[in-house]
Amino acid sequence: MILKTEDAVSPVIGVMLMIVVTIIIAAVVSGFAGGYSDEDRKAPTAIISCKATDNGLLFTHESGDFVDLVDCNIILTNGEDTRSFAGISELEKVDPIYSYSKDTQITTGNQFYLTADSDGNGSGVDGAYLGWEDPDFYLTTDEIGTYKIIDRESGQIISEGVIAI
């Protein structure tokens, strides 16, 4: 009895197909690992300090990437109370955020200011030292005031810390 065997595809073509599939898989994995598919924008990182003054909060860019105030939100927290401020608009480069560098992009050494609506003394709130209206929000000495500067597009924190009194 004679057995006859037939190969559907020659071994050389089979090996070539396996090599091609391996190269395609390696290219896809490399693309994802290298960030090719990552469309998320990375927020700048910076060290920014904050100090309370008589009329508002003075922020100083200590080091790190430049920060465009147009693309930022500032969130203040006093205990459980929170207030958010939008960054400088291109049209109104003042109120409530004012850049001392006269530019919306700040870098190391530049300062910007968040103007308060009141100094807190006439607010009727015990221990208030700065206040904002609509909605009412006050920084008080009995709570630790904190700030976060957030990149509006990515939602990532650029800088955060405690407000120095």
- Whether residue 118 is contained in a domain is answered as yes
Output DSSP code: residue 36.
T
Torsion of CA 150, 152, 156, 162, to 10 degrees: 10
The two beta strands, 72-78 and 97-99, are: unpaired
Please check whether residue 134 lies inside any domain of the structure. Answer: yes
Longest CA span, the chain: 110
At residue 94, the pLDDT reads 46
pLDDT at 20: 94
Q: What is the pLDDT of residues 22-34, one digit of tens each?
A: 999 999 888 777 7
Residues contacting residue 103 through CB under 8 Å, at least 6 positions apart: 110
Q: Is residue 102 part of a domain?
A: yes
DSSP tag of 1: -
| Residues linked to residue 72 through DSSP beta bridges, in sequence order | 151
What is residue 103's predicted lDDT score, i.e. its pLDDT? 77
Full residue range of the structural domain in which residue 116 is found:
46-162
Q: Report which DSSP code applies to 121.
A: G
Residue 126 resides in a domain: yes
Give the integer Cα–Cα distance in Å for 83 and 57: 14
Domain assignment of residue 24, yes or no: no
CATH number of the CATH domain containing 93: 2.60.40
Mapped onto helix, strand or coil, the DSSP state of residue 99 is: strand
Quick: pLDDT tens for 64-82: 998 988 888 999 999 889 9
In a domain, 137, yes or no: yes
Radius of gyration of the CA atoms of the chain, in A? 28
HSE, side-chain direction, 13 A CA sphere, residue 149 = 32
> What residue ranges of the chain have pLDDT lower than 50?
91-94
Determine, yes or no, domain membership for 41: no
Task: Quote the number of domains for the chain.
Answer: 1
Nearest-angstrom CA–CA distance, 50 and 40: 28
Does residue 124 fall inside a structural domain?
yes
What number of other Cβ atoms are within 10 A of residue 13's Cβ?
A: 11
Residues in the chain: 165
